[in-house]
A and B are shown apart, each in its own frame.
Chain A
Amino acid sequence: GAGVSQSPSNKVTEKGKDVELRCDPISGHTALYWYRQSLGQGLEFLIYFQGNSAPDKSGLPSDRFSAERTGGSVSTLTIQRTQQEDSAVYLCASSPHGDYEQYFGPGTRLTVT
């Protein structure tokens, strides 16, 4: 079946602009996660959704970062007023209930110039 998909695959933006990153989880998966992968920081957790609610937002690095999930499916990660340190690969994962292994998408590579 279809896996986790993310769009765009690559995004180049100017410092100060807002960006939106999209994640389509595996159909029927109730849990959705966002992670960030960067050279300096490795793989970092950002936020976790169960259904449309986010019980764990502890990894969001600043108030410039926000995320929402609608219909228990698609999620959007928004970064406002992007900074160069936001450059990274943003990975989305989903799992059936949150107790199981997470299935990852291919990621969105964000470059802030």
Chain B
Amino acid sequence: AQSVTQLGSHVSVSEGALVLLRCNYSSSVPPYLFWYVQYPNQGLQLLLKYTTGATLVKGINGFEAEFKKSETSFHLTKPSAHMSDAAEYFCAVSGPRGGNKLVFGAGTILRVKS
């Protein structure tokens, strides 16, 4: 079975500060890992994904994440927060085989203070 734990249901940062959203996963098979963002009353938008290869992955809007197998982590970072980054962020895991469902973490609401 697979599971995802996101540490911190709410994170608050100042505009221009580093954003760090934490994600730890559990998987009995090599995982595919994803970060999605959800703005109010909208669907989920993919930020970035890790499948195989380079462990540091870059996504949209300046976000990146690093897959650390030894720590079973996939933390999301952005060097400088912008007001428009305020949203809810979800980490998700799926298996390497076709058709696997996404298993989501509980989500982290990011607040950006001016």
Contact = CB atoms under 8 A, between A and B. Distances in A.
A55 interface: yes
B99 A56 contact: yes
A61 interface: no
A41 to B, nearest CB: 10
B40 to A, nearest CB: 12
Given A42-B107, A101-B49, A59 B43 contact: no
A101 B98 contact: no
Contacts of B106: 42
Given A42-B107, A101-B49, A91 B98 contact: no
Interface in A8-66: 31, 33, 35, 42-45, 48, 50, 55-56, 59
Contacts of B101: 33, 45, 48, 56, 59
Nearest to B107: A42
Chain B interface: which size bin? Answer: 20 to 34
B99 A104 contact: no
B50 to A, nearest CB: 11
A102 B99 contact: no
Given A31-B99, A98-B98, A99-B98, A91 B44 contact: yes
- Among all A-B residue pairs, the 10 with the closest Cβ atoms: A98-B99, A43-B104, A104-B43, A45-B101, A98-B98, A104-B44, A106-B43, A99-B98, A101-B46, A42-B106
Interface of A: 4, 31, 33, 35, 42-45, 48, 50, 55-56, 59, 91, 93, 97-99, 101-107
